[in-house]
Structure 1
Amino acid sequence: MNRIDRITEIMARSAARNSSRRSFFGRLGAWLTVGTVAPLLPVSRAYAAKGPQALQPQEQGDPTSCDYWRYCGIDGFLCACCGGSASSCPPGTEPSPITWVGTCRNPVDGRAYIISYNDCCGKAACGRCQCGRDEGATPTYQPSTSNDLDWCLGTQAGIAYHCSTSVVLGPAD
């Protein structure tokens, strides 16, 4: 018997002597319990109740105009013209959980901000304030930054596109 086989045999016999199925299932149960209880900790509940706080930079301009600073990478109908706002969907629609992102420069403070573009889904297309800017857009082989895809696929409403919002996520620097 060669040396590696002998060492492997000794380690396997030692593991078999010092462990049992009962202890394995006991440890497995403990880890499963910890894994299911961890999301219920008070820290997690406090964060969920508060929710993430969106950064609201100083703004100027008309959110119903395609030249509004947040719309540098938008493609579609502006929700600000369709009963919503620049950052919220109109009633009766739901935001797509899948988004594309862009980086736009705010003319008020001169800083660049990361913008999340969300499609609002569930109604027929709004048809007002069509805007198709694609500053810094990449080809569709990098879909997280492409504005040419239908992002309503992840909603309960299906693929009925209504309009698009632009939510400021934070400064790009």
Structure 2
Amino acid sequence: MINVGDKLPDVSFQQLSSDGMKNPTTADIFAGKKVVLFAVPGAFTPTCSESHLPGYIALADEIKAKGVDTIVCTSMNDAFVMSAWAETQNADEISFLSDGGGAFHKALGLTMDTGDFGGVRSKRYAMIVDDGKVTVLNVEEGKSFEASKAETILAAL
């Protein structure tokens, strides 16, 4: 599993925008920037939609006031699902990146197999990344939801 002090792996994501499908790389997103990244097991799922993402939406201005350039939400859902989820949540201040094939999360060592429930998915976690290097990493254990909350990350900034 990735650790504090490690550089993020070099991968491409998928992102649906008004200009069509884009494939930003890790370097495009993180190089020279301070980024808060949080991952959810699945868009439209209860904890993700009712608590995790809404917390980051509500605290986006406070997080960015701490010197954060971008807040990123990622999941192993496809870019169409991520885009629809962003739209339904009115999450304009968050950048949604799809890791549909799981290359990013597998390289981080942050996947879990949920079996018939949904297959391989990302673990729930949040990190602070400075110029591509992980400075804070909070991975949830089991079905907990505390370490990756927006309030927890804001306090760590």
The normalised TM-score by structure 1 is: 0.23
Bigger radius of gyration among the two: 1
TM-score w.r.t. structure 2 length? Answer: 0.25
Of Structure 1 and Structure 2, which has the larger fraction of its residues in strand?
Answer: 2
Higher relative CO (Cα under 8 Å, sequence separation at least 6) belongs to 2
